[in-house]
Amino acid sequence: MPSARALKRLDSLVWALIFGGLFLLILGIASHDEAAIAGWSLTALGGIATLAGVVLIFVRSRLQEAPPPATTMKDKETPR
């Protein structure tokens, strides 16, 4: 079970991949006329990054946060 910190990082990675991939996809489509090879490369890269982000959303939905550490009797004792 991943920690809350690991899940936050995964969430950040997911959205960076999705938005970055969509940006590259649009940039590649817009540049097809000027540089065909670069345009197709950007389009493919953007599509792959966006798809990876969508797959990570599914992976993230299957993960559960680790429960907080259990307290022990020593932690519950009051100081005298």
The rounded distance, in Å, linking the Cα atoms of 14 and 6 is: 12
Residue 7 confidence (pLDDT): 87
* Predicted TM-score (pTM) of this structure: 0.75
- Domain residue spans of the chain: 4-65
Residue 65 confidence (pLDDT): 73
One digit per residue, the tens of pLDDT, for the chain of length 80 reads: 788 888 899 999 999 999 999 999 999 999 988 899 999 999 999 999 999 999 999 998 888 876 766 666 665 666 66
Residues in the chain: 80
Apex 40 CA angle, 34 and 46, nearest 5: 120
63-78 core/surface letters (b: 16 or more CB in 10 A; e: else): eeeeeeeeeeeeeeee
Residue 70 confidence (pLDDT): 66
